Amino acid sequence: MATKIILVTGSNKGIGFEIVRQLAKLDHQVVLTARDEAKGLDACKKLKAENLAVRFLELDITKEESIEQAANKVKTEFGKLDVLINNAAISLRGDYSLLKNDPATTQQIINTNAFAQLAVTRAFQPLLPNGGRIIMVSSGGGSMSDPVGGWSPGYCVSKSLLGAITRHLAYELSDRRISVNAYDPGWVKTDMGGRSAPGTAEQGADTGVWLVVDDKTPSGKFFRDRKEIPW
């Protein structure tokens, strides 16, 4: 497989970090990003200790200036970007009811987990060649067909919106054969998922890595455990 240039947002820890690790093991050129420079560089050091070479790029997906600067740096250093993986997301305390949440809490979650992903994609998509890929790390909580669970509704709604964004981007970029897909990593042990989660970060990263390397996946779809699932 040809070496791909891949950028993963919010990848200094958790699922994003594991996606970077697994792709680096496949000898791809991976750009690890974080909004906190110290945490990002520390994550790169951990991978370097495993003899894995990755690049660090500071990126705060909630700030337009940071997004533009990051896109310009990728263009200057690499000239293109083969795969964009929108992984960065937040979950906030106090997200327990759409009717009772502090409106600012719900707004911040939706802005970060959906609109910021669109902003990042808008900035980086000119660097994607025909046949490039965009992957959204979503959640089963955003499913429109599964039962509503009653947990973190603002987070779930943000992921539902991310699903809609994914489908529309897939349509808009189809003329360039750029695939845009989302996947559910499952409930895994991360800072967000908590220690009681049944899965591991390695398992949560697996489908994301598969979407990078598999050549037969369609566009505009939602996946879990390497299988397409209903939106």
Which residue numbers are catalytic?
A: 155
Helix H or strand E segment including 158: helix 153-172
Tell me the CA end-to-end span of the chain in Å, nearest whole number: 31
**CA separation for the pair 122, 125 (Å, rounded):** 6
The dihedral over CA atoms of 21, 22, 26, 28, expressed in degrees to the nearest 10, equals -50
Helix (H, G, I), strand (E, B) or coil at 126: helix
CA–CA dist 57, 69 (Å, integer): 10
